[in-house]
Structure 1
Amino acid sequence: MHEETVYEALDHASGGEGHWAFGTGFDEPLAGVDTTVPEGIDPADLGEYCLMLGDDALVLAQRLTQWITAAPELEEEVAVANTALDLLGQARLLLARAGSVGVLGRSREKATESIPDEDALAYFRDPDEFRHTDLVEAPNGDFAQTMVRLLVAATVRLAVFHRLRESRDPVLAAVAAKGVNELAYHRDHAARWVLRLGDGTEESHRRTQAGADAVWPLLDDVFTATDVEARLARAGVAVDPADVRDEVTDVLTQVLERATLRVPAEPADAPPRGRRGQHTAELPELLATLQGLARRHPAATW
C-alpha cells in the first residue's frame, strides 16, 4: 500500500460530482487500503482510538470555520479555511476507519442506510458520544487566542502523527504519513502569528499573553492516556500522549519565549474527560451548527 492511496479517494468524485458532508458522490474513503485489523487488537479499541483522533480534527475544524468572514486579513481567511479542510480530510478518514471496525452505535440508528459511516459518525452522534479533548472544544476567544490554540493543538497532533507513521494499523500509518505535512504547516503558520502578535504592539502582546493563559489550562488532560490509548500504545498501534509531552513543551516554550511571552504554568494532570464523553456546555451549540442541516435532511444528496 502506498501512503498516498488513502487520500486519493478524497480527490476523485464519482462522475465528477458530489461533495463530502452528508451527501454522496465520493469514492469509498478507504478504497484500496488494507483495513484488516492488526492481529491481537480489539476492533472496539481501534475504533475508539480513531474516534479520538477524528473528533479532535472535526471539532477543531468547526471552530476554525467560525473565523471565515471574520479573520483580520482576507488571505488569512483562506489560510484558516484551508487548515480546516485539512483537518476535515483527516477526520473523514479516521471516522471511516472507526466505522469500518463497527463503531457506529446510535449514530447508525438515527441515519439512513445510504449515509456513509463517516457521515453518520460526524452528524448523528450526540455530545456524550464524541471523544475529543477540551483543547479543541473551547470557544475561540479573539484571534490571538485562536492562533495560540492552533499552535498548541497542531504541535500536539504533529508529535503524535510523527509516531503514528509506524503504527501497526495500515490506515493510521497512511493517514499519519500524509497528515504530518499538513500539521507541520498548521503549526508553523500559527507560530508565525504568535510571534507577530506577541512581539508586536502593546495591545497585541497583551491579547496574545491572555490567549496563552486561557489555552494552557486546557492541556491538563491532554497528556493523560485513557485505558484504550495505553493498551493500543503497548501493542504498537497508538501513541501514549505522555510520550510526546516533553517534545510539545519544548516547542511551545521556544515559540512563546521568542514572542516575548511568559510561558504559563503547566497545569496539574487530570483524568481524561473529553476522551470519555464528558464535555462542556459549549458542545451542544457547536454540534447544532455542525449537524443541523444533515439532521433536517438525512437523505439529501448534491
Structure 2
Amino acid sequence: MATLALADDALVLSHRLGEWAGHAPVLEEEVALANIALDLLGQARVLYAELGDEDELAYLREERAFRNCQLAEQPNGDFARTIARQLLFSTYQELLYARLAEHGHPLAAKAVSEVAYHRDHAEHWTLRLGDGTRESHARMQSAVDGLWRFTGELFQPVEGLDVELSALERAWQERIASTLDAATLTVPEGPRTGAWTAGAGRQGVHTESFGRMLAEMQHLHRSHPGTSW
C-alpha cells in the first residue's frame, strides 16, 4: 500500500506539472517545471516496477484504484497555486524520503536530493511572489489558503509506511511556517483535517477534477492497447 501510494503521488503530480508545457510564464520556468515532472515520473516508474507492470499500473487502473493524496491531484490553477501546491507537497516529500533513506529505502536515498531541489524551487518562488507586488502577494496567499485543507491527509497512517508521522508533521509545519513568514504570508487558520479525510485519496476517493485528468492521461494507451513505439 505504501509503495503504491508514493508511486501514485509522484505520477499524478508529474502529470499536473507536465500540463504547464507550452504555458509557463517564462522559458526558464518551462524547463524547470518539466525537469521536476520528469524527476517525479522517474520516481513513479521505480516504485511501480516493485509492484508489477508500470504501464498497467499507470494507464489501466480505474480512478478508485489510485492511492495518491488529494493534494497532488489538485488542478494547476494560476502559477501561484502551482507553486503553493509544490511547496506543501515537496516539503512533505523531502522530509519523508529523508526518514525512509535512514531506514535503507533504495529509492529514497537517491530521490531525496531531487526532492530537495523541488522544495528549493518552490520556496524561491513562494518568497518571490509572497514578498513581491500586491497582486502576487494576494494570489500566493489565496493559493495557500485554498490548498491548506488538503494537507492533513499527508500525515494520516498508510499501511506499510514505517515513519513516525507525528514527528514528520511537526517538522513540516515548522518549515512551512518559516517559509510563509519569510514570504510575508500568513499560515492559514482553517482546519487541515475534517470529514473529507475519512474518504480521502489514500482510500481511493478523489476530487472531481481527478477523473478528467486521469481520462486525459490514460487516453492514448487505452485507445491503442498493446501498441509498441
- TM-score, length-scaled by structure 2: 0.95
Matched-pair contact (CA < 8 Å) for 2:69–2:200: yes
From 163, 184, 187, give the equivalent of 1:263. Answer: 187
Q: Which residue of 2 is the match for residue 154 of structure 1?
A: 90
How many residues of Structure 1 are paired with residues of Structure 2 in the alignment?
226
- Check if 1:93 corresponds to 2:46: yes
- Identity level (%): 47
- SS of the residue 1:271 aligns to: helix
RCO comparison, higher one (Cα < 8 Å, 6+): 2
Q: Which residue of 2 is the match for residue 279 of structure 1?
A: 206
Structure 2: tracts of 5 or more residues without a match: none
Once residues 12 and 164 of structure 2 are traced to their aligned partners in structure 1, the CA distance between those partners, rounded to angstroms, is: 21
| Bigger Rg over Cα | 1
- Check if 1:182 corresponds to 2:120: no
Structure 1: tracts of 5 or more residues without a match: 1-47, 100-116
Aligned partner letter, 2:180: L
Deviations 1:248-294 (A, max 9, x none): 11111111101001111252434361111111221111011111101
Q: Which residue of 1 is the match for residue 34 of structure 2?
A: 81
Q: Which residue of 2 is the match for residue 67 of structure 1?
A: 20
Give, in angstroms, the shift of residue 179 of structure 1.
0.4
Q: Which residue of 1 is the match for residue 169 of structure 2?
A: 245
Matches within 5 A, 1:145-224: 145-167=81-103, 173-224=105-156
Once residues 264 and 272 of structure 1 are traced to their aligned partners in structure 2, the CA distance between those partners, rounded to angstroms, is: 23
- SS of the residue 1:75 aligns to: helix
Once residues 242 and 274 of structure 1 are traced to their aligned partners in structure 2, the CA distance between those partners, rounded to angstroms, is: 20
Give, in angstroms, the shift of residue 241 of structure 1.
3.3
From 49, 62, 71, give the equivalent of 1:135. Answer: 71
- Check if 1:254 corresponds to 2:178: yes
Matched-pair contact (CA < 8 Å) for 2:97–2:111: yes
Name the one with the larger helix percent.
2
Once residues 239 and 84 of structure 1 are traced to their aligned partners in structure 2, the CA distance between those partners, rounded to angstroms, is: 25
Give, in angstroms, the shift of residue 174 of structure 1.
1.4
Stretch of structure 1 that moved more, 125-134 or 243-252: 243-252
Task: Check 1:258–1:59 CA distance in 2 against 1; reply closer, same or farther (3 A cut).
Answer: same
Deviations 1:87-108 (A, max 9, x none): 0000001111122xxxxxxxxx
Aligned partner letter, 1:276: Q
Give, in angstroms, the shift of residue 243 of structure 1.
3.1
Once residues 8 and 165 of structure 2 are traced to their aligned partners in structure 1, the CA distance between those partners, rounded to angstroms, is: 16
From 53, 58, 71, give the equivalent of 2:6. Answer: 53
Give, in angstroms, the shift of residue 298 of structure 1.
1.8
Matched-pair contact (CA < 8 Å) for 2:148–2:192: no
Task: Check 1:272–1:178 CA distance in 2 against 1; reply closer, same or farther (3 A cut).
Answer: farther
Matched-pair contact (CA < 8 Å) for 2:150–2:192: no
